[in-house]
Chains A and B, each alone.
Chain A
């Protein structure tokens, strides 16, 4: 059973517009959420994270929103650039409950930003 779900396998956006990537989770024990960006044949690169005590975290063009009641988070990229084209993974962890903070990953969303 998937605890972290990224229901859109792909997303295409025009350069300069907003990209919105979505992620849903089922485990209410999750208290830390992360987004990673991955290019083919490379390791994931950490982008941005958010703790469950916040509902928004911003870093430059990237903003992550957390809606705990809906168990939903989203990553906004504004403005989108062709170099943002990659696979984006959502991940979640729980320090409590015996999982020792290990990350659970979604299956990823492939973002294509067209010039």
Chain B
């Protein structure tokens, strides 16, 4: 089945530690996105990538980093510089970039601080 796979589903981070969230898609989509959701809030864009080896900062990129070495993979690293990392992280992808298309989401990773 085609889809977007995020792992792990739950992740715990110690103070001062970097952690990496995985996002893989087999939909052959060009664009991929990372969002953060906090309670009672909408989704806020962290980073996005329209093409392999290229990515752009979203609205809340500070304390995060990404890479896009392969079309199907877009891992997100939450660095120790992110002071409030506890949130629900969602990865999404979209087929094309030149026309209006919906984004499709994975099932998310919940990150908590120990």
Are chains A and B native binding partners rather than an unrelated pairing?
A: yes
Q: Is B103 an interface residue (CB 8 A)?
A: yes
Nearest-CB residue, chain B, relative to A94: B100
| Residues of A within 8 A of B (CB-CB), count | 25
Interface residues of B (CB under 8 A from A): 4, 6, 33, 40-45, 48, 50, 56, 58, 88, 90, 92, 94, 97-108, 110
- Residue-wise interface mask of A (29-53) relative to B, using a CB-CB cutoff of 8 A (1 in contact, 0 not): 0011010100001111110010100
Q: How many A-B residue pairs have CB under 8 A?
A: 59
In the assembled complex, the Cα of A34 lies from the Cα of B94 at a distance in Å of 13
Contact in complex: A95, B103 (CB < 8 Å):
no
Chain A nearest CB from B114 CB (Å) reads: 20
Contact in complex: B42, A51 (CB < 8 Å):
no
23 contacts between A and B (CB under 8 A): A31-B100, A32-B100, A34-B102, A41-B88, A42-B107, A42-B108, A43-B6, A43-B106, A43-B108, A44-B43, A44-B90, A46-B102, A89-B42, A89-B43, A93-B100, A95-B100, A102-B45, A102-B58, A103-B45, A105-B42, A105-B43, A106-B42, A108-B42
One of A31, A32, A44, A101 near B97 (C-beta < 8 A): A101
In the assembled complex, the Cα of A100 lies from the Cα of B108 at a distance in Å of 24
- Residue-wise interface mask of A (77-90) relative to B, using a CB-CB cutoff of 8 A (1 in contact, 0 not): 00000000000010
Inter-chain contacts of B88 with A (CB < 8 A):
41
List the 6 closest A-B pairs by CB distance, nearest first: A43-B105, A105-B42, A32-B100, A46-B102, A105-B43, A107-B42
Inter-chain contacts of B110 with A (CB < 8 A):
41
One of A32, A100, A107 near B40 (C-beta < 8 A): A107
Q: Most chain-B Cβ atoms within 10 A of its Cβ — which of A36, A93, A102?
A: A102
Inter-chain contacts of A93 with B (CB < 8 A):
100
In the assembled complex, the Cα of A101 lies from the Cα of B45 at a distance in Å of 12
In the assembled complex, the Cα of A102 lies from the Cα of B106 at a distance in Å of 17
In the assembled complex, the Cα of A106 lies from the Cα of B6 at a distance in Å of 23
In the assembled complex, the Cα of A64 lies from the Cα of B7 at a distance in Å of 33
